[in-house]
């Protein structure tokens, strides 16, 4: 077989014979040194990969350039595999020093019969350099070149792929191992949110080649994305992005993600000190116990819990990520807690055991807690440093708890957020303002004098409304379950009405989720709704609970697995990493019909998270008013005097990239809830709209 070759004529030891003798001897010594060093380097073989070739007659051509940059001949073994991993052709090429080959894959390997596949090139030394070129034939030509890759990894990143009117990306990933590989492909937004994920199995030596929209769902694809690929075997790959009519082609090399893929580890393997990213908590893992410390700004420890290693190992799963951080999973969380290694524990606070009522210390601590952890100063339009300058002088003049409570209330008053609060004994202050039907109900409360507090007024209003539903719409008696937090009845033959008054406390303990009771109640609901075509889900009076309950309930109504939202914490240095949260259909029995979800400004916290889950499902329609707009978990922090402040320290970003904090989850069908006409006539406009659809 003959190959087109060219010689590298830039090497002086081969091209210049007219130099003086001493200079020629010096050059010879250098060459001998290089050759001697080369002998030591050549013990290990080198491999290069062309992850994709194609040569369809008149349509596509793949060209290969390969050069020997060493000072001795190299024997190159070339193996061509088809996409299924079958060896299709094999050749041996010998490249002399400085020599190279260049040409079409079809010409270089005439015995090749596969129109598309990949190449593995192995040499008995080092110093091979190569280039692949892809050309669109016929009409307006488009082409792109990319160096051959010499790296394999279990984690790759394709940093910029596109899916738009003018640009479309495809990727090629090769399993270089001799056994089957499992690939996890994640579609990642430019700000780091996972938008979609897919899993593929690849046979030994097989290749995945596909356009983006053939791998991921169309609705999850923005104009530009990243794709992260991890595998249990070594892989290599790259991507091509095609312009209009394929007249432009851009090559996208894959970046190797350093470190090992995520691995499950035991507590014995992570002994040492860890800091939770964004929450002011420290984890100390010793031989026999695990201690979790709370810390205030300035990294001052004030509280801790201890757990035996053996007992805790049964309750959590610990995974070490490629960057060295820990992801700790529990059945109480929808996402893992992330910890990073740190050198030493902070000093213990002086007030750890004895409360310190010093007004200045408590003011400074409260201000700094929000400075380090609160996520929404920009949304609230608050200059936190200016608030400090305005209120700090008052701290010097505080004489008693009453004045301190007033000062700290004024400190957080500008923060219009549902999870911001100050708690002292049996007193509390919340600065959030009401919206929509919640504001109208509050105005009704202010206009009367029989009931002294708004919570009691809401409770009474809710019961009156439920009684009106029973009289006007429900055709079976309203049943109760889950510690009276779940209500349900039929509306005619084909519609079920299901109301969640909270997303926690379904069992005997008010502060526990009560998962067993929740599941048992939902099974009873499904039995009673046998034959129902549609369910009206009502969370208009649901103030929240836990996100794990939201996830569990949503799984009973989901049809497709998809990302629902992503969340990340605020840290003292910026923002933590996004973690995406998925809605996954329940494997067991679940409702398969259409769902109308009723929401209102009373819908808060975990009930809003439930709304984020449900709105991703095409068979679910949101009706009513936007939710309250308080998504973040409530971060509780203790002050030196024992009082507690709460705040929102997380960003929740919906699948479309919008953070609805302060706005609430929008509805598809706007309907004003609990109007004066509804209250007077015993009707419900939102429920009526749901029944009419």
List, for residues 519-566, the tens digit of each pLDDT value.
Answer: 999 999 999 999 999 999 999 999 999 999 999 999 999 999 999 999
Residue 545: inside a domain, yes or no? yes
- Cα separation, 463 vs 97, in Å, equals 89
- Cα separation, 89 vs 82, in Å, equals 9
Same domain, 511 and 583: yes
CA atoms within 13 A on the CB side of 113: 3
* CATH number (domain holding residue 9): 2.60.290
Residue 435: inside a domain, yes or no? no
Is it the case that residue 3 has pLDDT exceeding 50? no
User: Which carries the bigger pLDDT value, residue 73 or residue 554?
Assistant: 554
Question: Whose CA is closest to 505, among 477, 483, 480, 529?
Answer: 483
Same domain, 408 and 456: no
Same domain, 549 and 578: yes
pLDDT tens sequence across 471-493: 999 999 999 999 999 999 999 99
**Domain total for the chain?**
5
Residue 37: inside a domain, yes or no? yes
pLDDT computed for residue 394 by the predictor? 97
pLDDT tens sequence across 195-220: 999 999 999 999 999 999 999 988 88
Same domain, 251 and 290: no
Same domain, 676 and 566: yes
* CATH number (domain holding residue 570): 3.90.226.10
pLDDT computed for residue 260 by the predictor? 62
pLDDT computed for residue 40 by the predictor? 26
Residue 252: inside a domain, yes or no? yes
Is it the case that residue 37 has pLDDT exceeding 70? no
Same domain, 413 and 391: yes
Same domain, 191 and 328: no
pLDDT computed for residue 352 by the predictor? 67
Same domain, 511 and 612: yes
CB 72 within 8 Å of CB 37: no
pLDDT computed for residue 498 by the predictor? 99
pLDDT computed for residue 25 by the predictor? 29
CB 230 within 8 Å of CB 261: yes
Residues 66-72 have a mean pLDDT of 90
pLDDT computed for residue 477 by the predictor? 97
Q: Which domain holds residue 323?
A: 263-341
pLDDT computed for residue 1 by the predictor? 25
- What value does the mean pLDDT of the chain take? 89
3-state secondary structure 361-425: HHHHHHHHHHHHHCCCHHHHCCCHHHHHHHHHHHHHHCCCHHHHHHHHHHHHCCCCCCCCEEEEC
Which residue's structure tokens are 């109480």?
Answer: 332
Residue 219: inside a domain, yes or no? yes
Same domain, 374 and 327: no
Residue 642: inside a domain, yes or no? no
Beta carbons within 8 Å of 310's beta carbon, 6+ residues apart? none
* CATH number (domain holding residue 238): 2.60.290.11
Residue 125: inside a domain, yes or no? yes
Last residue of a domain, one of 239, 256, 273: 256
Last residue of a domain, one of 293, 313, 341: 341
Q: 78 falls in which pLDDT band (50, 70, 90)?
A: very high
Residue 364: inside a domain, yes or no? yes
E-strand ranges in 176-316 read 181-188, 194-202, 207-211, 224-242, 249-253, 255-256, 263-265, 272-276, 281-285, 289-296, 300-308
pLDDT computed for residue 27 by the predictor? 29
Same domain, 565 and 520: yes
User: Which carries the bigger pLDDT value, residue 551 or residue 246?
Assistant: 551
pLDDT tens sequence across 376-397: 999 999 999 999 999 999 999 9
Last residue of a domain, one of 278, 310, 341: 341
User: Which carries the bigger pLDDT value, residue 101 or residue 572?
Assistant: 101
pLDDT computed for residue 18 by the predictor? 37
Q: 35 falls in which pLDDT band (50, 70, 90)?
A: very low
pLDDT computed for residue 574 by the predictor? 85
CB 131 within 8 Å of CB 26: no
Same domain, 378 and 455: no
Same domain, 681 and 587: yes
State the pTM of this model: 0.83
């Amino acid at each position: 077989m003959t190959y087109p070759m060219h010689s590298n004529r830039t090497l002086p030891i081969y091209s210049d014979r007219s130099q003086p003798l001493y200079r020629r001897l010096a050059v010879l010594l250098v060459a001998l040194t290089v050759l001697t060093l080369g002998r030591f380097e050549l013990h290990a073989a080198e491999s290069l990969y062309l992850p994709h070739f194609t040569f369809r007659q008149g349509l596509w051509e793949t060209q290969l350039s390969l050069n020997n940059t060493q000072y001795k001949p190299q024997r190159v073994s070339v193996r061509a595999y088809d996409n299924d991993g079958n060896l299709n052709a094999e050749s041996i090429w010998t490249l002399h020093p400085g020599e190279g080959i260049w040409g079409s894959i079809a010409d270089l390997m005439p015995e090749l019969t596969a129109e598309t596949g990949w190449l593995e090139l192995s040499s008995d030394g080092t110093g091979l350099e190569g280039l692949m070129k892809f050309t669109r034939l016929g009409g307006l030509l488009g082409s792109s070149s990319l160096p051959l890759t010499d790296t394999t990894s279990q984690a790759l990143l394709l940093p910029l792929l596109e899916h738009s009117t003018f640009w479309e990306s495809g990727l090629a990933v090769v399993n270089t191992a001799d056994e089957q590989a499992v690939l996890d492909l994640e579609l990642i937004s430019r700000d780091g949110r996972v938008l979609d994920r897919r899993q593929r199995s690849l046979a030994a030596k097989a290749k995945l080649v596909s356009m983006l929209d053939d791998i991921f769902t169309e609705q999850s694809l923005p104009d530009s994305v990243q794709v992260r690929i991890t595998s249990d075997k070594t892989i290599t790959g790259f991507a091509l992005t095609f312009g209009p009519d394929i007249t432009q082609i851009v090559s996208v090399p894959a970046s190797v993600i350093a470190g090992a893929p995520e691995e499950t580890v035991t507590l014995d393997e992570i002994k040492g000190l860890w800091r939770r990213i964004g929450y002011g908590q420290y984890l100390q893992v010793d031989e026999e116990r695990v201690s979790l410390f709370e810390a205030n700004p300035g990294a001052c420890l004030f509280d801790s819990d201890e757990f035996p290693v053996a007992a805790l190992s049964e309750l959590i799963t610990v995974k070490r990520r490629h960057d060295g951080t820990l992801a700790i999973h529990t059945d109480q969380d929808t996402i893992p807690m992330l910890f990073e290694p740190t050198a030493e524990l902070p000093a213990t606070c002086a007030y750890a055991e004895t409360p310190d009522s010093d007004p200045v210390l408590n003011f400074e601590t409260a201000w700094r807690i929000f400075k380090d952890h609160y996520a929404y100063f920009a949304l609230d339009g608050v200059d936190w440093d200016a608030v400090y300058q305005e209120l700090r002088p008052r701290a010097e003049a505080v004489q008693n708890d009453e004045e301190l409570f007033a000062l700290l209330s004024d400190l957080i008053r500008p923060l219009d957020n549902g999870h911001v609060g100050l708690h002292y004994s049996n007193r509390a202050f919340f600065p959030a303002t009401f919206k929509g039907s919640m504001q109208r109900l509050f105005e009704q409360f202010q206009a009367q004098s029989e009931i002294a507090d708004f919570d009691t007024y809401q409770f009474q209003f809710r019961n009156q409304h439920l009684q009106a539903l029973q009289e006007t719409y429900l055709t079976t008696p309203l049943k109760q379950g889950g510690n009276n937090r779940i209500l349900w009845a039929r509306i005619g033959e084909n519609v079920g009405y299901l109301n969640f008054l909270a997303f926690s406390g379904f069992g005997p303990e008010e502060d526990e989720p009560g998962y067993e009771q929740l599941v048992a109640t939902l099974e009873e609901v499904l039995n009673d709704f046998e034959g129902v075509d549609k369910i009206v889900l009502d969370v208009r009076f649901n103030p929240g609970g836990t996100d794990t309950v939201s996830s569990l309930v949503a799984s009973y109504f989901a049809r497709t697995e998809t990302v629902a939202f992503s969340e990340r914490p605020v840290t003292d240095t910026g923002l933590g990493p996004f973690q995406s949260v998925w809605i996954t259909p329940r494997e067991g029995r679940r409702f398969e019909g259409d769902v109308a979800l009723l929401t209102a400004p009373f819908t808060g916290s975990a009930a809003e998270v439930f709304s984020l889950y449900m709105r991703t499902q095409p068979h679910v329609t949101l009706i009513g008013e936007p939710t309250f707009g308080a998504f973040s978990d409530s971060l509780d922090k203790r002050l030196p005097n024992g009082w507690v402040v709460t705040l929102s320290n997380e960003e929740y970003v919906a699948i479309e990239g919008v953070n609805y904090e302060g706005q609430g989850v929008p509805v598809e069908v706007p309907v004003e809830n609990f109007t004066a006409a509804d209250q007077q006539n015993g009707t419900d406009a939102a429920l009526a709209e749901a029944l009419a659809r």
